[in-house]
Amino acid sequence: MLVRVGSRGSRLALTQAELAAARLRGPGVEIALVPITTAGDRDRTRPFGEIGARGVFVKELEEALLDGRIDVAVHSAKDMTSTDTEGLAVGAYLEREDPRDALCGAPALRPEMRVGTASVRRRAQLLALEPTLSIEPLRGNIDTRLRKRGERGLDAVVLAACGLDRLNLAREIGHRFDPEEMVPEAGQGALALQVREGEEHLVGAADHAETRRRVEAERACVAVIGGGCLAPIAAYHDGLRLTALVAAVDGSWIERRSGDDPAEVAAALMPFVAA
């Protein structure tokens, strides 16, 4: 049986697709990788909000699944929308790797640093930690952002630690933010294998139950709050409890709530969403 696995075409995305392929290969199962370009890949300069908010790295892969051009889509779970697309399902989550954000270029934050990131979630939390920072927009794949740090004379950039680890670039990391310092994006560190509804058996053997429990709680919480790339909203489950966050873009205030039930945690934060 041939299983066509769709992925974005960046070096990190293909590395992640190979991780998924290794879990799916077996007796009688062959894997064909199918690179697909997404809206987020085509436009690497405009802010996410001008392209189409959260899901800009997912939509074309989902369309390929629905059209029957691929059988499995490999996503960074943090890139997915908080609710499943009709007709599709996450058939498996691979075991989560490091969910933390990483500061690259410096061992710690210090006053008046110039830090690059395109994430409003990271921007808000960075400014809450150090209000004198200058946060500069920075997009592109990992290699591009690391290169631009030098070209633009930035003191540091903030990236997902898991991506750096997967590309053997951990040497670039000066500091990994504890989730209590900087709450990660929902799903960060996990890979999601998406399939058409009814075809979960294609990937079910690769599913890591504990990762699913945690990531699904994070996604459910964000779905209730109504978050996305344009909102400084985050959620992270450490295995014992779920913590979610809503913040002002400028970091002038942050509200965190923790608990066991995603709906209850989200409800406690709802009064602050429009603040």
**72-76 and 191-196 beta bridge pairing:** antiparallel
Those residues with Cβ within 8 angstroms of residue 129's Cβ, 6 or more apart along the chain or in another chain: 109, 181, 182, 251
Looking at the annotation, which residues are catalytic?
79
Could you tell me if 74 and 12 are in contact, meaning their C-beta atoms sit under 8 angstroms apart?
no
DSSP one-letter string for 124-154? HHHHHH-TT-EEE---S-HHHHHHHHHHTT-
